Amino acid sequence: DAGVIQSPRHEVTEMGQEVTLRCKLISGHNSLFWYRQTMMRGLELLIYFNNNVPIDDSGMPEDRFSAKMPNASFSTLKIQPSEPRDSAVYFCASRRRGMNYGYTFGSGTRLTVV
C-alpha cells in the first residue's frame, strides 16, 4: 500500500501566481480531506469529500481556494491568486467510511508565497 501521496513536497511561488496541490488517495479509502497547518492556527479542515462528492467546504478561506476530486483516487487543491498569508503546510488525508477508521495523512506540501 503506497499510502497517501502528495505533490509537490515544496512549492515556492510569487504572490498572484496560481498554485495547484495534488493528492492521491489510498486504494479503498473513500473519504478525502484537505487540511492546512500553521503555527498560529494549528490543523484546519479546509474541505472534505465522500465518494468524490464535496460534503463540506466551509473551511475554505475564500473564493481563491477551490478543490476538485475528478475520480475516486485523485484530488487537487488550487489557489488562484496566491497570497503570502496562504503560506502553510497543506495536508491531504484519506480514510475509509465509518467512525472507527482514522485518517492517513500524506507527507504534506510546504507552500511559501513570496
Q: Residue numbers of the site for other proteins (CB under 8 A)?
A: 33, 35, 42-43, 45, 48, 56, 91, 99-108
Provide the β-strand partners of residue 22.
Answer: 7, 76
CA distance 97 to 108: 22
CB of 108 to other proteins, least distance (A): 5
CA distance 44 to 99: 20
Question: Strand 42-50 and strand 31-38: pairing?
Answer: antiparallel
CA distance 28 to 2: 12
Nearer to other proteins, 27 or 50 (CB): 50
Nearer to other proteins, 8 or 16 (CB): 8
CB of 20 to other proteins, least distance (A): 20
CB of 60 to other proteins, least distance (A): 14
CB of 80 to other proteins, least distance (A): 25
Nearer to other proteins, 15 or 96 (CB): 96
Q: Cα–Cα distances in Å, from 76 out to 40, 98, 109? A: 25, 24, 12
Provide the grid cell at 30. Answer: 473513500
Nearer to other proteins, 72 or 89 (CB): 89
